[in-house]
Amino acid sequence: MKKVLVTGGCGYIGSHTIIDLLNNGFEVISVDNNSNSDLRALNGIHEITGHRVKNYTVDLCDFEKTAKIFRNESFDGVIHFAALKSVGESVGEPLRYFNNNITSLLNVLQCCKDYEVKNFIFSSSCSVYGNAVDLPVTEDTAFEAAECPYARTKQMGEHIIQDFSFANKNINSINLRYFNPAGAHPSAKIGEASLNPPTNLVPVITETAIGKRESLTVFGNDYNTRDGSCIRDYIHVMDVANAHTKAVQYLMDGKNESNCEVFNLGIGEGVTVLEAIHAFEKVSGKDLNYILGDRRPGDVVSIYASMDKAKSKLNWETQYNIEDIMRSAWEWEMKRTETVLQN
């Protein structure tokens, strides 16, 4: 059984990916300092899969503590999610984002080299493309200027991995650039549950619908799009999770053509913010209280993916659409709110 380290394993995408890895026969170890995640995600993983995943509560910016994990375990691969991820927060706290996201990446890469871990998957983002002119974006689309410090850390991270790969031919890496992960596990036992107030659209929608927020603000209605709101490519979190499993298998099976490759993960369609809101209203039967506001610093106008490369090389297909995303997110929101009220 191959053993994979998932950094940020208690987080949103990390916890869903652990489930997919376990369901595909991998042994998984998690590391998460729980600065914006909850250990209870591991309980949900156990309920769904029957596996109790070990978690190291370690800040990956601490090199000695990070190295100790690699000394204690023997990994066949690493999937690196752990990072700060709020666009708006990064604009106000750029140094915090650079320090955390870059230092943790450097430490994990150094440990991969020191302890001979041959396979590395990096959680990148569509934000690396900036305000892309030609859509859909492909893996060959050039980076535009980063629209926020968070996006810049992802651009820098990819450049670091490319240079690292050039110098370390025996380590294989993949940068997975995903677009807007959303939704929850179909069981509603885990979902998006950051400790800090969410800023991503879908959890803001569900929190508004259930009454945790008075209203939802649509940031900008004067963009050059179908209805004036930003266009994004929303992809179900379990589709994203499965792509990480497929990427690990791809490297372990020796199918990679180089030791540093890149794949987009999206559903290949642009959905406006207002269209996403209407999809939620359709599947939930609830009218959402939203207001039209000013543009938000750091937001790109429109971006969506071509996922042809991931389909052909990783043998990966999406299974969920925007309505599935909204339905699963709403079921998760209702269940976790009911649990809080019962306690």
Indicate the pLDDT class of residue 299, thresholds 50, 70 and 90.
confident
**Share of residues in the chain with pLDDT > 90 (%):** 87
Kindly state the average pLDDT of the residues 20-26: 98
Look at residue 158 and tell me whether its pLDDT is greater than 80. yes
CA 32 from centre of chain:
15
Instruction: Using DSSP, state whether 264 is helix, strand or coil.
Output: strand
Residues 6 or more apart whose CB falls under 8 angstroms from that of 11 comprise 32, 36, 37, 41, 81, 82, 194
Residue 66 pLDDT > 70, yes or no? yes
The string of pLDDT tens digits covering residues 307-327 is 999 999 999 999 999 999 999
- 276, 329 in Cβ contact below 8 A? no
- Catalytic residue among 150, 223, 234, 304, which? 150
Domain architecture of the chain: domains with CATH: 3-183+234-266 (3.40.50.720)
Length of the chain: 343
Question: Per residue in 97-139, pLDDT tens?
Answer: 999 999 999 999 999 999 999 999 999 999 999 888 888 999 9
Strands 271-272 and 231-232 turn out to be: antiparallel
In this predicted structure, the answer to whether residue 24 has a pLDDT above a threshold of 80 is yes
pLDDT for residue 101: 98
Catalytic residue flag (residue 150): yes
